[in-house]
Structure 1
Amino acid sequence: MAGDRVDLVVFGATGFTGQFVVEEIAQVEADGDGLSWGIAGRNRAKLEKVRQQAVKETGRNLDHVELIVADVSDEESLNQMARRARVVLNCVGPYRFFGDQVVKACVSNGASHVDISGEPQFLEGTQLNYHEAAEKAGVYVVGACGFDSIPADMGVVFVHDKFDGDLNGIESYFNVKTGPKGYRGIHYATYQSAIHGFANQHELGPLRRRLFGKRLPRSNYKLPNRGNLHSSSVINKYCLPFLGSDKSVVQRSVFHNYEKRGWRNVQYSPYVGIGGWLRTVSITVLLAVFGLMASTKFGRTLLEKFPRFFTLGAVNHDGPTRQQMAETSFSMTFVAQGWKEKRPQDEQHTSPPDQTMVARVSGPECGYVATPICLVQCALSILKEPGKMPGSGGVYAPGAAFAETSLIERLNHRGVTFEVIGDQ
């Protein structure tokens, strides 16, 4: 890559999440990582406000941080931004509408790209459409580098590495702990991405057939079918299937690691803890209404126009307050089962699993505190450990891209912790 590039450029720095990514880089820089970096967005005056807000929050002098004007509707501005960066941290969503332009500019101009997308269609389509070009350009494109889906995907990598035997499957349970101020403030952009993800689920089948081309060998022992609602003793809550991108991202990583690293096929089922019976039923009804309305154009219009009404106030354009974020934390508990005996990769076991392990990934508020931590550390892994990345470039899920890097160690250092907590 050209020597006159800065290490990192945050695109979408003037957005809600972008502000926190800027502050996270300022903190990491203060820890001695020796970074050159810039922030990019449509309006220079707003970029200056972001920089000043970061100065206020972190106490750092950020006069050296470059301001770059770039707009997703202006291809040449994206090209200029990409030519200025070694890695672009893309915070501009929904990625269905605004992601492809940025990936194209990065691949065409020699910049690696990480994002915080939780949109399977975008993530899988990017791998299908840009992998070969990214390989030839010698750059890495790694999506889902925020809460979607670093805890899940790198959690599976962590469990795989720690499990002494043949790993068969993992169930994960996501749980949120809020403080006295509660947590009402899912940002509108996240909500909008979910609307269009639901609306276009039909795209995934044909896309996956083109992307994967074959099925991996299937275990004789399937993970339990928990249904749409179950009471879990793991986190002592009623749980629903987790509807985010985690499962699809993990599947992409497992496929790569099966083919390139000799993994067995690992089953994965993610769940989210809701709470008591009444709350769980209420959330289930809301999700059913949401899914039904997202399936029609008129319904999507209503969902986008009245987000507070259809989420009982959970979604707004302002996001959660800093105090709410400071009082909130997350955990994701992984219950793994498999066999003590190791067999060749494709040789199936003929007796039920005889070994379990429980691990946990935990950290601060997941959407706007842990997400910037994860995104920045992913970018630094590309910068600092290119020899531990797969191939010479390409498009990967995080568990494929970073399985052999020190990303988990880096995340532990920044407060997103990975640990084995015992057997079940």
Structure 2
Amino acid sequence: MSEKLDVIIFGASGFTGKYTVFEAVNVLQNYRWGIAGRSQTKLENVLKDMGAKAQKNLMSTPVIIADIENEGSLIAMASKCRVLVNCCGPYRFFGEQVVRACLEAGTHHVDVSGEPQYMETMQLKYNKLAQERKVYIISACGFDSIPVDLGIIFIDKNFDGVVNSVESYLQTYTKGESQGGAGIHYGTWESAVYGLAHSNELREIRRKLYSEKLPKFQPILKPRPLFFRSDIGNGICLPFPGSDRSVVMRSQRFLYEQEHKRPVQMHAYIVFKTWIAAILVALFGVTFGILTKFSFGRQLLVKYPKVFSLGFFSHEGPSEAQMESVQFSFIMRANGWPKSEKLLEASDQYADLPSKTLTVKVSGSNPGYGATCVAVLSTAVTILKENDKMPGSGGVLAPGAAFAKTSLISELEKYDRGIKFEILANK
């Protein structure tokens, strides 16, 4: 291969990887791209199957063989492209090797991790080196972090004032039916099991990562009760257990430290139509949390995901019909002060309570294997097109920090399985 490819999709024969290949037909149509993984046969089968699905012959797409256990092959793979899209998880086990290879090769890296320990460890260990090598390492580039982290960037651009806080409410539903879910592949389940099992690691990671605490900006956004009814989502709400808040906080800290912007406080919730559904999910969450704390419990969860998730997670994953039926929306309500009341310094405190609100909706379809794949590819395209609009010359960043000044939101809105950002109310 005489010339570098623009993008390589690593882990292309995995469940998320193969649908990333399918979306690449549209998102990467103006770029030179290839796929990578351990098995030539499996990779060629992905090109055949996804080509048939996209009604396009993909068999001339470059195929690169790389093994997560072979450092040399990872470096060789990374050296063949400008941006590596890493779909090989769980990232707790398989992410760092690929990050190191990209740093060695001088190649940008994006992935769809939702694992705070992995993401913040990569920032702690490699941020300085990434800056020196002029490489961007950006995780959380899929659902559900991209809608929320970029949603707050969208809010900030349209608020016409100073944002103090945002509450995010996630709803999922299937077309023509009541709220529900179509199922998720085992890989996400495994990441959740080990992530929760080792959640106590985060405190020490953050202590090392952030030597100084952020100022306590008033008024403080307090978390809601465990169960509460909200008019925003028109249902019963629970705290959302994903990585959204940790990703947003990384972006907001960066923007405060580097650009002196007042950090936005944020809490995330998920909405259910009935009390029964909310209570059952809460009971599941408690049971899941307890089991992850014990080796035997983790073994049971990993071995029998379908049993313990009541069929929602499985090794075979959802069918394409199920995936395409799922819709999602985040209703995000921001509170703050109008432009006329802006303070001189980001560290200054307001004497008055927030008097302005903005409500936005971030929505899309097929969140796990449509919107996610479009999102991660769109971040790769944005790095290729708008590197000069990204902060500094490199670093280990959250998406909001990395893409705040780019046109990523517009890029995400181009595609059928992309993500739409819209204003619902501005008061």
Q: CA deviation at 1:185?
A: 2.1
The answer for unaligned runs of 5 or more in structure 1 is none
Choose 256-265 or 285-294, whichever is displaced more: 256-265
| Residues 7, 36 of structure 1: 8 Å contact kept | yes
Choose the corresponding residue for 2:146, options 150, 153, 158. 150
The 1-side partners of 2:181 and 2:285 are apart by 18
Choose 258-267 or 390-399, whichever is displaced more: 258-267
1:126 maps to: 122
1:95 maps to: 91
1:342 maps to: 342
The 1-side partners of 2:399 and 2:140 are apart by 7
Cα shift readout 1:284-309 (whole Å, capped 9, x = no counterpart): 10100000000111110111111111
Q: CA deviation at 1:422?
A: 0.5
The 1-side partners of 2:227 and 2:317 are apart by 28
Q: CA deviation at 1:62?
A: 1.9
| Residues 75, 101 of structure 2: 8 Å contact kept | yes
| Secondary structure class of the residue paired with 1:62 | coil
1:176 maps to: 172
Q: Which amino acid aligns with 1:82?
A: A
The 1-side partners of 2:382 and 2:2 are apart by 19
| Residues 218, 265 of structure 1: 8 Å contact kept | no
1:422 maps to: 425
Query: Residues 319 and 375 of structure 1: is their aligned pair in 2 closer, same or farther, counting only changes over 3 Å?
Result: same
| Residues 183, 320 of structure 1: 8 Å contact kept | no
1:7 maps to: 6
The 2-side partners of 1:177 and 1:23 are apart by 24
2:315 maps to: 317
| Residues 185, 318 of structure 1: 8 Å contact kept | no
The 1-side partners of 2:28 and 2:359 are apart by 34
Query: Residues 338 and 88 of structure 1: is their aligned pair in 2 closer, same or farther, counting only changes over 3 Å?
Result: same
TM-score by length of 1: 0.96
The 2-side partners of 1:149 and 1:326 are apart by 20
Choose the corresponding residue for 2:287, options 282, 286, 289. 289
Cα shift readout 1:94-132 (whole Å, capped 9, x = no counterpart): 100000000000111111100000000000000111111
How many pairs does the alignment contain? Answer: 420
Choose 414-423 or 113-122, whichever is displaced more: 414-423
Q: CA deviation at 1:28?
A: 2.1
Q: Which amino acid aligns with 1:390?
A: P
The 2-side partners of 1:272 and 1:245 are apart by 13
Superposed, 1:45-56 pairs within 5 Å as: 45-56=41-52
Choose the corresponding residue for 1:214, options 212, 222, 230. 212
| Residues 217, 265 of structure 1: 8 Å contact kept | no
Residue 27 (1) aligns with residue 53 (2):
no
The 2-side partners of 1:392 and 1:29 are apart by 24
| Residues 71, 77 of structure 1: 8 Å contact kept | yes
Choose 204-213 or 217-226, whichever is displaced more: 217-226
2:403 maps to: 402
| Secondary structure class of the residue paired with 2:147 | helix
Q: CA deviation at 1:186?
A: 1.1
Superposed, 1:200-211 pairs within 5 Å as: 200-211=198-209
The 2-side partners of 1:3 and 1:259 are apart by 42
Query: Residues 400 and 199 of structure 1: is their aligned pair in 2 closer, same or farther, counting only changes over 3 Å?
Result: same
| Residues 26, 54 of structure 1: 8 Å contact kept | no
Q: CA deviation at 1:275?
A: 2.4
The 1-side partners of 2:143 and 2:2 are apart by 32
2:35 maps to: 39
Q: Which amino acid aligns with 1:294?
A: T
Percent of paired sites with the same residue: 44
2:195 maps to: 197
| Secondary structure class of the residue paired with 2:348 | coil
The two structures, once aligned, show a CA RMSD in angstroms of 1.4
| Secondary structure class of the residue paired with 1:391 | coil
Q: Which amino acid aligns with 1:409?
A: S
| Residues 131, 395 of structure 1: 8 Å contact kept | yes
The 2-side partners of 1:423 and 1:225 are apart by 23
Q: CA deviation at 1:224?
A: 4.0
| Residues 27, 58 of structure 1: 8 Å contact kept | no
The 1-side partners of 2:196 and 2:336 are apart by 33
| Residues 139, 397 of structure 2: 8 Å contact kept | yes
Q: CA deviation at 1:216?
A: 1.7
Q: CA deviation at 1:423?
A: 3.6
The 1-side partners of 2:324 and 2:395 are apart by 36
